[in-house]
Structure 1
Amino acid sequence: MKLNSVIAREGYTWIQQGIWLFKQNPLGFFMLVFIYVFVAQLAVLVPILGVFAVLILTPTLSVGFLTACRQAIVKEPLRPMVYLIALRSGPIIRKRILQLGLIYTILILVLSIALSALVDFEALLPLVTSDQPLTAETLHQIYELLAIGGLLYIPVAMLMWFSPILIAWTNMPLAQALFSSFIACWRNRGAFLVYIAIWIVVLIIIPMAIGAGLNALNLEQVASFIVAPISMAGLTVMHCSFYATWKACFVEDAAPSYFA
Protein backbone atom coordinates (compact mmCIF):
# COMPACT_ATOMS: atom_id res chain seq x y z
CA MET A 1 0.00 0.00 0.00
CA LYS A 2 1.50 3.32 -1.13
CA LEU A 3 0.26 6.87 -0.64
CA ASN A 4 -0.24 8.66 -3.95
CA SER A 5 -0.36 12.35 -4.90
CA VAL A 6 -2.63 13.69 -7.65
CA ILE A 7 -3.16 17.04 -9.37
CA ALA A 8 -6.07 19.33 -8.49
CA ARG A 9 -8.23 18.55 -11.53
CA GLU A 10 -8.31 14.92 -10.41
CA GLY A 11 -11.13 16.01 -8.10
CA TYR A 12 -13.37 16.36 -11.16
CA THR A 13 -12.21 12.96 -12.42
CA TRP A 14 -13.30 11.36 -9.14
CA ILE A 15 -16.85 12.55 -9.78
CA GLN A 16 -16.75 11.18 -13.33
CA GLN A 17 -15.60 7.85 -11.97
CA GLY A 18 -18.33 7.96 -9.34
CA ILE A 19 -20.91 8.37 -12.11
CA TRP A 20 -19.38 5.44 -13.99
CA LEU A 21 -19.48 3.29 -10.87
CA PHE A 22 -23.08 4.29 -10.14
CA LYS A 23 -24.09 3.15 -13.64
CA GLN A 24 -22.81 -0.37 -12.88
CA ASN A 25 -25.74 -0.96 -10.50
CA PRO A 26 -27.92 2.14 -10.01
CA LEU A 27 -30.81 0.34 -8.32
CA GLY A 28 -28.47 -1.44 -5.92
CA PHE A 29 -26.74 1.79 -4.91
CA PHE A 30 -30.05 3.62 -4.54
CA MET A 31 -31.21 0.81 -2.24
CA LEU A 32 -28.11 1.06 -0.04
CA VAL A 33 -28.30 4.84 0.31
CA PHE A 34 -32.04 4.72 0.99
CA ILE A 35 -31.54 2.08 3.70
CA TYR A 36 -28.83 4.18 5.34
CA VAL A 37 -30.93 7.37 5.30
CA PHE A 38 -34.06 5.56 6.49
CA VAL A 39 -32.34 3.73 9.35
CA ALA A 40 -30.49 6.88 10.41
CA GLN A 41 -33.75 8.84 10.55
CA LEU A 42 -35.35 6.12 12.64
CA ALA A 43 -32.37 5.94 14.97
CA VAL A 44 -32.31 9.67 15.72
CA LEU A 45 -35.89 9.40 16.93
CA VAL A 46 -34.49 7.56 19.93
CA PRO A 47 -33.32 10.30 22.31
CA ILE A 48 -29.53 10.54 22.69
CA LEU A 49 -28.84 6.80 22.20
CA GLY A 50 -30.03 6.84 18.61
CA VAL A 51 -27.71 9.67 17.60
CA PHE A 52 -24.74 8.05 19.34
CA ALA A 53 -25.49 4.71 17.65
CA VAL A 54 -25.47 6.33 14.20
CA LEU A 55 -22.19 8.13 14.90
CA ILE A 56 -20.45 5.06 16.32
CA LEU A 57 -21.52 2.92 13.36
CA THR A 58 -20.60 5.49 10.71
CA PRO A 59 -17.14 3.97 9.97
CA THR A 60 -18.72 0.52 9.80
CA LEU A 61 -21.30 1.71 7.28
CA SER A 62 -18.60 3.48 5.27
CA VAL A 63 -16.66 0.22 4.89
CA GLY A 64 -19.87 -1.51 3.86
CA PHE A 65 -20.70 0.94 1.09
CA LEU A 66 -17.17 0.96 -0.32
CA THR A 67 -17.19 -2.82 -0.27
CA ALA A 68 -20.39 -2.63 -2.30
CA CYS A 69 -18.50 -0.45 -4.80
CA ARG A 70 -15.93 -3.21 -5.19
CA GLN A 71 -18.71 -5.74 -5.67
CA ALA A 72 -20.43 -3.62 -8.31
CA ILE A 73 -17.22 -3.41 -10.33
CA VAL A 74 -17.01 -7.21 -10.58
CA LYS A 75 -20.76 -7.44 -11.22
CA GLU A 76 -21.66 -9.03 -7.89
CA PRO A 77 -25.17 -8.32 -6.54
CA LEU A 78 -25.48 -5.67 -3.83
CA ARG A 79 -27.20 -6.69 -0.62
CA PRO A 80 -28.01 -4.72 2.56
CA MET A 81 -25.93 -7.08 4.72
CA VAL A 82 -22.79 -5.64 3.10
CA TYR A 83 -23.05 -2.86 5.70
CA LEU A 84 -22.05 -5.38 8.39
CA ILE A 85 -18.98 -6.74 6.64
CA ALA A 86 -16.52 -4.83 8.84
CA LEU A 87 -18.09 -6.30 11.98
CA ARG A 88 -17.72 -9.77 10.48
CA SER A 89 -14.05 -9.36 9.53
CA GLY A 90 -12.62 -10.78 12.72
CA PRO A 91 -12.26 -9.56 16.31
CA ILE A 92 -9.27 -7.26 15.69
CA ILE A 93 -10.84 -5.31 12.83
CA ARG A 94 -14.20 -5.24 14.60
CA LYS A 95 -12.60 -3.79 17.71
CA ARG A 96 -10.66 -1.18 15.75
CA ILE A 97 -13.62 -0.10 13.64
CA LEU A 98 -15.81 0.34 16.71
CA GLN A 99 -13.04 2.25 18.47
CA LEU A 100 -12.85 4.47 15.40
CA GLY A 101 -16.59 5.03 15.66
CA LEU A 102 -16.19 6.05 19.29
CA ILE A 103 -13.43 8.50 18.35
CA TYR A 104 -15.66 9.95 15.63
CA THR A 105 -18.49 10.36 18.13
CA ILE A 106 -16.22 12.18 20.57
CA LEU A 107 -14.90 14.46 17.82
CA ILE A 108 -18.44 15.37 16.72
CA LEU A 109 -19.40 16.04 20.33
CA VAL A 110 -16.41 18.35 20.78
CA LEU A 111 -17.20 20.07 17.48
CA SER A 112 -20.82 20.59 18.56
CA ILE A 113 -19.71 22.14 21.85
CA ALA A 114 -17.30 24.45 20.03
CA LEU A 115 -20.00 25.45 17.54
CA SER A 116 -22.50 26.18 20.30
CA ALA A 117 -19.93 28.49 21.90
CA LEU A 118 -19.61 30.44 18.65
CA VAL A 119 -23.29 30.53 17.59
CA ASP A 120 -26.32 31.55 19.64
CA PHE A 121 -28.59 28.55 19.00
CA GLU A 122 -31.17 29.71 21.56
CA ALA A 123 -31.80 32.85 19.53
CA LEU A 124 -31.62 31.18 16.12
CA LEU A 125 -33.80 28.10 16.72
CA PRO A 126 -37.13 29.94 17.27
CA LEU A 127 -36.56 31.92 14.06
CA VAL A 128 -35.95 28.78 12.02
CA THR A 129 -38.84 26.75 13.47
CA SER A 130 -41.47 29.49 13.28
CA ASP A 131 -44.08 29.62 10.51
CA GLN A 132 -42.94 33.08 9.46
CA PRO A 133 -40.82 33.49 6.29
CA LEU A 134 -37.10 33.59 6.97
CA THR A 135 -35.67 37.09 6.98
CA ALA A 136 -32.42 38.10 5.30
CA GLU A 137 -30.79 38.35 8.73
CA THR A 138 -31.90 34.83 9.67
CA LEU A 139 -30.63 33.42 6.37
CA HIS A 140 -27.32 35.18 6.97
CA GLN A 141 -27.09 33.55 10.41
CA ILE A 142 -27.88 30.13 8.94
CA TYR A 143 -25.20 30.49 6.26
CA GLU A 144 -22.75 31.67 8.90
CA LEU A 145 -23.56 28.61 11.00
CA LEU A 146 -23.04 26.28 8.03
CA ALA A 147 -19.75 27.96 7.14
CA ILE A 148 -18.36 27.76 10.67
CA GLY A 149 -19.55 24.18 11.09
CA GLY A 150 -18.02 23.19 7.76
CA LEU A 151 -14.65 24.71 8.65
CA LEU A 152 -14.61 23.02 12.04
CA TYR A 153 -15.51 19.68 10.44
CA ILE A 154 -12.65 19.72 7.90
CA PRO A 155 -9.96 18.21 10.22
CA VAL A 156 -12.48 15.59 11.41
CA ALA A 157 -13.29 14.67 7.81
CA MET A 158 -9.59 14.39 6.98
CA LEU A 159 -9.03 11.98 9.85
CA MET A 160 -12.06 9.88 9.00
CA TRP A 161 -12.04 9.89 5.20
CA PHE A 162 -9.83 6.86 4.62
CA SER A 163 -9.25 5.46 8.11
CA PRO A 164 -12.20 2.98 8.09
CA ILE A 165 -10.97 1.45 4.82
CA LEU A 166 -7.34 1.39 5.94
CA ILE A 167 -8.41 -0.55 9.02
CA ALA A 168 -10.78 -2.94 7.26
CA TRP A 169 -8.89 -3.56 4.01
CA THR A 170 -5.24 -3.27 5.03
CA ASN A 171 -5.48 -4.27 8.71
CA MET A 172 -3.78 -1.00 9.68
CA PRO A 173 -3.63 -0.08 13.38
CA LEU A 174 -6.06 2.60 14.50
CA ALA A 175 -3.61 5.45 15.15
CA GLN A 176 -1.71 4.79 11.93
CA ALA A 177 -4.96 4.72 9.94
CA LEU A 178 -6.04 8.11 11.31
CA PHE A 179 -2.62 9.60 10.59
CA SER A 180 -2.44 8.13 7.07
CA SER A 181 -5.94 9.38 6.24
CA PHE A 182 -5.10 12.90 7.36
CA ILE A 183 -1.81 12.95 5.41
CA ALA A 184 -3.49 11.57 2.28
CA CYS A 185 -6.15 14.29 2.37
CA TRP A 186 -3.59 17.02 3.06
CA ARG A 187 -1.23 15.87 0.30
CA ASN A 188 -4.14 15.86 -2.18
CA ARG A 189 -5.87 18.95 -0.81
CA GLY A 190 -6.06 20.61 -4.24
CA ALA A 191 -8.04 17.73 -5.69
CA PHE A 192 -10.27 17.57 -2.63
CA LEU A 193 -11.01 21.31 -2.85
CA VAL A 194 -12.17 20.87 -6.45
CA TYR A 195 -14.11 17.74 -5.51
CA ILE A 196 -15.89 19.34 -2.55
CA ALA A 197 -16.61 22.57 -4.45
CA ILE A 198 -18.39 20.63 -7.21
CA TRP A 199 -20.49 18.70 -4.70
CA ILE A 200 -21.45 21.91 -2.89
CA VAL A 201 -22.79 23.21 -6.20
CA VAL A 202 -24.59 19.95 -7.06
CA LEU A 203 -26.06 19.12 -3.65
CA ILE A 204 -26.67 22.57 -2.16
CA ILE A 205 -26.60 25.46 -4.61
CA ILE A 206 -28.51 23.84 -7.51
CA PRO A 207 -31.34 22.39 -5.35
CA MET A 208 -31.65 25.73 -3.51
CA ALA A 209 -31.80 27.62 -6.81
CA ILE A 210 -34.44 25.27 -8.21
CA GLY A 211 -36.48 25.49 -5.01
CA ALA A 212 -36.26 29.27 -4.90
CA GLY A 213 -37.29 29.54 -8.56
CA LEU A 214 -40.30 27.28 -8.11
CA ASN A 215 -41.30 29.10 -4.92
CA ALA A 216 -41.18 32.39 -6.80
CA LEU A 217 -43.63 30.87 -9.29
CA ASN A 218 -45.90 29.70 -6.44
CA LEU A 219 -45.05 26.07 -7.21
CA GLU A 220 -43.86 25.09 -3.72
CA GLN A 221 -45.54 21.68 -3.86
CA VAL A 222 -43.85 20.87 -7.16
CA ALA A 223 -40.43 21.78 -5.75
CA SER A 224 -40.20 18.75 -3.48
CA PHE A 225 -40.98 16.36 -6.34
CA ILE A 226 -38.15 17.85 -8.41
CA VAL A 227 -35.51 18.66 -5.80
CA ALA A 228 -35.78 15.42 -3.79
CA PRO A 229 -34.91 13.03 -6.69
CA ILE A 230 -32.06 15.30 -7.81
CA SER A 231 -30.64 15.40 -4.27
CA MET A 232 -31.03 11.63 -3.83
CA ALA A 233 -29.28 10.89 -7.11
CA GLY A 234 -26.48 13.33 -6.30
CA LEU A 235 -26.03 11.86 -2.82
CA THR A 236 -25.79 8.34 -4.23
CA VAL A 237 -23.24 9.28 -6.91
CA MET A 238 -21.24 11.14 -4.26
CA HIS A 239 -21.05 8.00 -2.14
CA CYS A 240 -19.87 6.05 -5.20
CA SER A 241 -17.19 8.65 -5.86
CA PHE A 242 -15.70 8.00 -2.41
CA TYR A 243 -14.29 4.80 -3.87
CA ALA A 244 -12.60 6.80 -6.62
CA THR A 245 -10.85 8.97 -4.03
CA TRP A 246 -9.53 5.82 -2.37
CA LYS A 247 -8.20 4.36 -5.62
CA ALA A 248 -6.49 7.66 -6.49
CA CYS A 249 -4.89 8.43 -3.13
CA PHE A 250 -3.73 4.92 -2.22
CA VAL A 251 -2.07 2.53 -4.63
CA GLU A 252 -2.31 -1.15 -3.81
CA ASP A 253 0.69 -3.22 -4.86
CA ALA A 254 0.13 -4.80 -8.28
CA ALA A 255 -3.52 -3.79 -8.14
CA PRO A 256 -5.36 -3.48 -11.48
CA SER A 257 -6.98 -0.20 -12.46
CA TYR A 258 -10.76 -0.35 -12.17
CA PHE A 259 -11.40 2.91 -14.02
CA ALA A 260 -10.77 3.73 -17.63
Structure 2
Amino acid sequence: MQAAILPINAGWFWIDQGYRICRRQPLAMFFWSMTLSMLISLSYLVPLFGQMALIIATPSLTFMTLAACRRIDSGQPMQLGMWTRPLRDARVRKRLFVLGLAYLASCFAGGLLATLPFLDTLTAAIEGQGQIDEYALLQAMRAPMITFGVLYVLISMLFWHAPALIGWHGVPLGQALFFSMVACWRNKWAFLLYGITWAAIFIGIQLLASLLVGLGLSATFLQFLLLPVNVAITAVLYASFYPAYVSVFRSAE
Protein backbone atom coordinates (compact mmCIF):
# COMPACT_ATOMS: atom_id res chain seq x y z
CA MET A 1 0.00 0.00 0.00
CA GLN A 2 1.31 3.41 -1.01
CA ALA A 3 0.82 6.45 1.19
CA ALA A 4 0.35 9.75 -0.63
CA ILE A 5 2.55 12.73 0.22
CA LEU A 6 0.24 15.68 0.84
CA PRO A 7 0.94 19.41 1.15
CA ILE A 8 1.07 20.99 4.59
CA ASN A 9 -2.39 22.57 4.21
CA ALA A 10 -3.87 19.07 4.16
CA GLY A 11 -3.96 19.41 7.95
CA TRP A 12 -6.61 22.13 7.59
CA PHE A 13 -8.38 20.16 4.86
CA TRP A 14 -8.88 17.21 7.23
CA ILE A 15 -10.46 19.44 9.85
CA ASP A 16 -12.69 21.11 7.26
CA GLN A 17 -13.83 17.73 5.93
CA GLY A 18 -14.46 16.49 9.47
CA TYR A 19 -16.70 19.52 10.01
CA ARG A 20 -18.55 18.76 6.78
CA ILE A 21 -19.15 15.17 7.87
CA CYS A 22 -20.57 16.39 11.19
CA ARG A 23 -22.83 18.85 9.39
CA ARG A 24 -24.34 16.02 7.33
CA GLN A 25 -25.49 14.08 10.40
CA PRO A 26 -24.81 16.22 13.48
CA LEU A 27 -26.98 14.23 15.89
CA ALA A 28 -25.17 10.96 15.09
CA MET A 29 -21.71 12.45 15.55
CA PHE A 30 -22.76 14.40 18.65
CA PHE A 31 -24.12 11.15 20.14
CA TRP A 32 -20.88 9.32 19.38
CA SER A 33 -18.70 12.08 20.80
CA MET A 34 -20.79 12.13 23.98
CA THR A 35 -20.62 8.33 24.23
CA LEU A 36 -16.82 8.32 23.97
CA SER A 37 -16.59 11.12 26.55
CA MET A 38 -18.70 9.03 28.94
CA LEU A 39 -16.51 5.97 28.35
CA ILE A 40 -13.41 8.01 29.14
CA SER A 41 -15.02 9.31 32.34
CA LEU A 42 -16.17 5.83 33.38
CA SER A 43 -12.68 4.43 32.89
CA TYR A 44 -11.49 6.54 35.84
CA LEU A 45 -13.97 4.87 38.19
CA VAL A 46 -11.67 1.83 38.18
CA PRO A 47 -8.13 3.20 38.61
CA LEU A 48 -5.46 1.71 36.35
CA PHE A 49 -7.57 -1.20 35.09
CA GLY A 50 -10.18 1.15 33.67
CA GLN A 51 -7.53 3.08 31.74
CA MET A 52 -5.93 -0.17 30.56
CA ALA A 53 -9.28 -1.41 29.25
CA LEU A 54 -9.86 1.89 27.47
CA ILE A 55 -6.43 1.75 25.80
CA ILE A 56 -7.09 -1.81 24.60
CA ALA A 57 -10.49 -0.74 23.24
CA THR A 58 -9.13 2.37 21.48
CA PRO A 59 -8.38 0.71 18.09
CA SER A 60 -11.88 -0.82 18.01
CA LEU A 61 -13.51 2.50 18.92
CA THR A 62 -11.38 4.26 16.31
CA PHE A 63 -12.44 1.76 13.65
CA MET A 64 -16.10 2.22 14.60
CA THR A 65 -15.63 5.98 14.22
CA LEU A 66 -13.99 5.63 10.81
CA ALA A 67 -16.67 3.25 9.56
CA ALA A 68 -19.44 5.60 10.68
CA CYS A 69 -17.75 8.57 9.00
CA ARG A 70 -17.36 6.60 5.78
CA ARG A 71 -21.05 5.78 5.83
CA ILE A 72 -22.02 9.40 6.51
CA ASP A 73 -19.62 10.67 3.85
CA SER A 74 -21.22 8.37 1.29
CA GLY A 75 -24.64 9.88 2.06
CA GLN A 76 -26.07 6.92 4.00
CA PRO A 77 -27.94 7.41 7.28
CA MET A 78 -26.18 6.49 10.50
CA GLN A 79 -28.61 4.88 12.93
CA LEU A 80 -28.12 3.66 16.49
CA GLY A 81 -27.73 -0.07 15.73
CA MET A 82 -25.12 0.57 13.05
CA TRP A 83 -22.30 1.68 15.32
CA THR A 84 -21.27 -1.86 16.28
CA ARG A 85 -21.70 -3.27 12.76
CA PRO A 86 -17.97 -2.90 11.87
CA LEU A 87 -17.09 -5.28 14.73
CA ARG A 88 -19.52 -8.07 13.84
CA ASP A 89 -16.82 -9.90 11.89
CA ALA A 90 -15.03 -12.09 14.44
CA ARG A 91 -11.73 -11.87 12.57
CA VAL A 92 -11.84 -8.07 12.60
CA ARG A 93 -12.69 -8.04 16.32
CA LYS A 94 -9.78 -10.34 17.11
CA ARG A 95 -7.28 -8.36 15.04
CA LEU A 96 -8.34 -5.06 16.58
CA PHE A 97 -8.17 -6.59 20.06
CA VAL A 98 -4.61 -7.74 19.38
CA LEU A 99 -3.85 -4.25 18.09
CA GLY A 100 -5.24 -2.87 21.34
CA LEU A 101 -2.94 -5.13 23.35
CA ALA A 102 -0.01 -3.95 21.25
CA TYR A 103 -1.07 -0.35 21.89
CA LEU A 104 -1.20 -1.00 25.65
CA ALA A 105 2.23 -2.67 25.57
CA SER A 106 3.66 0.26 23.60
CA CYS A 107 2.25 2.82 26.05
CA PHE A 108 3.58 0.78 28.99
CA ALA A 109 7.03 0.52 27.38
CA GLY A 110 6.98 4.23 26.64
CA GLY A 111 6.14 4.96 30.27
CA LEU A 112 9.03 2.82 31.47
CA LEU A 113 11.51 4.38 29.05
CA ALA A 114 10.37 7.85 30.12
CA THR A 115 10.53 7.10 33.85
CA LEU A 116 13.53 4.85 34.46
CA PRO A 117 16.26 7.42 33.60
CA PHE A 118 14.72 9.84 36.13
CA LEU A 119 13.84 7.32 38.83
CA ASP A 120 16.45 8.60 41.29
CA THR A 121 15.15 12.16 40.96
CA LEU A 122 11.57 11.02 41.50
CA THR A 123 12.56 8.96 44.53
CA ALA A 124 14.48 11.87 46.02
CA ALA A 125 11.34 14.02 45.85
CA ILE A 126 9.73 11.72 48.44
CA GLU A 127 10.88 12.45 51.96
CA GLY A 128 12.08 9.77 54.34
CA GLN A 129 9.01 9.79 56.58
CA GLY A 130 6.75 9.03 53.65
CA GLN A 131 5.72 12.65 53.23
CA ILE A 132 5.76 14.01 49.69
CA ASP A 133 7.29 17.34 48.75
CA GLU A 134 4.69 18.29 46.14
CA TYR A 135 6.72 21.08 44.54
CA ALA A 136 9.84 18.91 44.27
CA LEU A 137 7.75 16.05 42.88
CA LEU A 138 6.22 18.28 40.21
CA GLN A 139 9.69 19.48 39.24
CA ALA A 140 10.96 15.90 39.12
CA MET A 141 8.02 14.81 36.95
CA ARG A 142 8.64 17.46 34.30
CA ALA A 143 11.42 15.62 32.46
CA PRO A 144 9.66 12.20 32.44
CA MET A 145 6.44 13.81 31.17
CA ILE A 146 8.26 15.62 28.34
CA THR A 147 10.11 12.42 27.44
CA PHE A 148 6.88 10.42 27.40
CA GLY A 149 5.24 13.11 25.28
CA VAL A 150 7.94 12.69 22.64
CA LEU A 151 7.69 8.91 22.79
CA TYR A 152 3.91 9.06 22.57
CA VAL A 153 4.14 11.00 19.32
CA LEU A 154 6.09 8.07 17.87
CA ILE A 155 3.58 5.59 19.31
CA SER A 156 0.71 7.58 17.80
CA MET A 157 2.39 7.47 14.39
CA LEU A 158 2.57 3.69 14.60
CA PHE A 159 -1.09 3.27 15.52
CA TRP A 160 -2.77 6.22 13.76
CA HIS A 161 -3.81 4.43 10.57
CA ALA A 162 -3.44 0.86 11.83
CA PRO A 163 -7.13 0.26 12.78
CA ALA A 164 -8.33 1.10 9.25
CA LEU A 165 -5.54 -0.88 7.59
CA ILE A 166 -6.32 -3.93 9.71
CA GLY A 167 -10.12 -3.60 9.78
CA TRP A 168 -10.77 -2.72 6.13
CA HIS A 169 -7.84 -4.25 4.29
CA GLY A 170 -6.76 -7.15 6.51
CA VAL A 171 -3.16 -5.93 6.66
CA PRO A 172 -1.09 -7.95 9.18
CA LEU A 173 -0.29 -6.20 12.44
CA GLY A 174 3.40 -5.57 11.81
CA GLN A 175 2.83 -4.26 8.31
CA ALA A 176 -0.06 -2.06 9.46
CA LEU A 177 2.15 -0.43 12.08
CA PHE A 178 4.92 0.06 9.54
CA PHE A 179 2.60 1.51 6.88
CA SER A 180 1.06 3.83 9.46
CA MET A 181 4.46 5.10 10.59
CA VAL A 182 5.62 5.67 7.01
CA ALA A 183 2.36 7.46 6.09
CA CYS A 184 2.60 9.77 9.11
CA TRP A 185 6.27 10.50 8.46
CA ARG A 186 5.64 11.31 4.80
CA ASN A 187 2.95 13.76 5.88
CA LYS A 188 4.62 15.01 9.06
CA TRP A 189 4.15 18.70 8.23
CA ALA A 190 0.44 18.23 7.50
CA PHE A 191 0.03 16.32 10.76
CA LEU A 192 2.01 18.98 12.61
CA LEU A 193 -0.33 21.68 11.32
CA TYR A 194 -3.29 19.43 12.14
CA GLY A 195 -2.10 18.96 15.72
CA ILE A 196 -1.21 22.63 16.25
CA THR A 197 -4.61 23.72 14.93
CA TRP A 198 -6.49 21.41 17.27
CA ALA A 199 -4.31 22.47 20.21
CA ALA A 200 -5.03 26.11 19.39
CA ILE A 201 -8.77 25.41 19.22
CA PHE A 202 -8.96 23.70 22.61
CA ILE A 203 -6.58 26.17 24.29
CA GLY A 204 -8.59 29.04 22.79
CA ILE A 205 -11.78 27.65 24.32
CA GLN A 206 -10.13 27.43 27.74
CA LEU A 207 -8.75 30.97 27.47
CA LEU A 208 -12.18 32.26 26.46
CA ALA A 209 -13.72 30.46 29.43
CA SER A 210 -11.16 32.00 31.79
CA LEU A 211 -11.88 35.44 30.33
CA LEU A 212 -15.63 35.03 30.82
CA VAL A 213 -15.13 33.91 34.43
CA GLY A 214 -12.90 36.92 34.96
CA LEU A 215 -15.68 39.15 33.66
CA GLY A 216 -18.02 37.77 36.32
CA LEU A 217 -19.81 34.88 34.60
CA SER A 218 -20.63 32.01 36.95
CA ALA A 219 -18.10 29.17 36.60
CA THR A 220 -20.84 26.58 37.12
CA PHE A 221 -23.04 28.09 34.42
CA LEU A 222 -20.05 28.36 32.08
CA GLN A 223 -19.20 24.69 32.52
CA PHE A 224 -22.81 23.82 31.75
CA LEU A 225 -22.63 26.04 28.67
CA LEU A 226 -19.30 24.67 27.45
CA LEU A 227 -20.23 20.99 27.78
CA PRO A 228 -22.18 20.74 24.49
CA VAL A 229 -19.61 22.99 22.79
CA ASN A 230 -16.74 20.69 23.79
CA VAL A 231 -18.71 17.60 22.75
CA ALA A 232 -19.49 19.15 19.36
CA ILE A 233 -15.89 20.21 18.73
CA THR A 234 -14.64 16.79 19.78
CA ALA A 235 -17.11 15.26 17.31
CA VAL A 236 -15.41 17.25 14.53
CA LEU A 237 -12.04 15.99 15.80
CA TYR A 238 -13.21 12.38 15.59
CA ALA A 239 -14.77 12.94 12.17
CA SER A 240 -11.51 14.40 10.85
CA PHE A 241 -9.78 11.02 11.33
CA TYR A 242 -11.59 9.66 8.27
CA PRO A 243 -10.51 12.26 5.66
CA ALA A 244 -6.97 12.02 7.07
CA TYR A 245 -6.97 8.31 6.29
CA VAL A 246 -8.71 8.53 2.92
CA SER A 247 -6.51 11.32 1.58
CA VAL A 248 -3.30 9.56 2.59
CA PHE A 249 -4.36 6.08 1.44
CA ARG A 250 -6.71 7.18 -1.33
CA SER A 251 -5.28 4.57 -3.68
CA ALA A 252 -6.40 1.88 -1.24
CA GLU A 253 -9.95 3.18 -0.77
TM-score normalised by length of structure 2: 0.83
Q: Which shows bigger deviation, 213-222 or 237-246?
A: 213-222
Structure 2 vs 1, CA of residues 218 and 110 (structure 1 numbering), >3 Å: closer, same or farther? farther
Report if aligned partners of 2:209, 2:222 keep a CA contact under 8 Å in 1.
Answer: yes
Displacement of 1:63 in angstroms is: 0.4
Displacement of 1:29 in angstroms is: 0.4
For residues 65 and 127 of structure 1, the distance between their equivalents in structure 2, rounded to whole angstroms, comes to 43
For residues 146 and 77 of structure 1, the distance between their equivalents in structure 2, rounded to whole angstroms, comes to 42
TM-score normalised by length of structure 1: 0.81
For residues 63 and 127 of structure 1, the distance between their equivalents in structure 2, rounded to whole angstroms, comes to 43
Displacement of 1:252 in angstroms is: 3.1
| 1:239 to 2:238 alignment | yes
CA deviation digits over 1:155-207, x for unaligned, max 9? 1110110001000011111100000000000000010011111000012x212
For these two proteins, the number of residue pairs brought into alignment is 243
User: Which amino acid is 1:18 matched to?
Assistant: G
Report if aligned partners of 2:184, 2:191 keep a CA contact under 8 Å in 1.
Answer: yes
Structure 2 vs 1, CA of residues 211 and 189 (structure 1 numbering), >3 Å: closer, same or farther? same
| 1:164 to 2:169 alignment | no
Displacement of 1:81 in angstroms is: 4.6
For residues 60 and 80 of structure 2, the distance between their equivalents in structure 1, rounded to whole angstroms, comes to 13
Query: Could you tell me which residue of structure 1 aligns to residue 62 of structure 2?
Result: 62
Mapping for residues 77-226 of structure 1, pairs under 5 Å: 77-91=77-91, 93-117=92-116, 118=118, 120=122, 147-203=146-202, 205-219=203-217, 220-226=219-225
User: Which amino acid is 1:230 matched to?
Assistant: V
Report if aligned partners of 1:64, 1:86 keep a CA contact under 8 Å in 2.
Answer: yes
Q: Report sequence identity in percent.
A: 30
For residues 216 and 148 of structure 1, the distance between their equivalents in structure 2, rounded to whole angstroms, comes to 34
Structure 2 vs 1, CA of residues 198 and 31 (structure 1 numbering), >3 Å: closer, same or farther? same
CA RMSD of aligned residues (A): 2.9
Query: Structure 1 stretches (4+) deviating beyond 6 angstroms?
Result: 137-146
CA deviation digits over 1:110-141, x for unaligned, max 9? 23334445585977xx899xxxxxx9x99999
| 1:11 to 2:20 alignment | no
SS in 1 for 2:84: helix
Report if aligned partners of 1:207, 1:230 keep a CA contact under 8 Å in 2.
Answer: no
| 1:27 to 2:53 alignment | no
Displacement of 1:245 in angstroms is: 0.4
Report if aligned partners of 2:115, 2:144 keep a CA contact under 8 Å in 1.
Answer: no
Report if aligned partners of 1:67, 1:82 keep a CA contact under 8 Å in 2.
Answer: no
For residues 139 and 212 of structure 2, the distance between their equivalents in structure 1, rounded to whole angstroms, comes to 21
For residues 244 and 141 of structure 1, the distance between their equivalents in structure 2, rounded to whole angstroms, comes to 40
Q: Which shows bigger deviation, 188-197 or 102-111?
A: 102-111
Report if aligned partners of 2:6, 2:187 keep a CA contact under 8 Å in 1.
Answer: yes
Structure 2: gaps spanning 5 or more residues:
127-131
For residues 40 and 243 of structure 1, the distance between their equivalents in structure 2, rounded to whole angstroms, comes to 21
Structure 1: gaps spanning 5 or more residues:
129-134, 256-260
For residues 109 and 216 of structure 2, the distance between their equivalents in structure 1, rounded to whole angstroms, comes to 42
SS in 2 for 1:251: coil
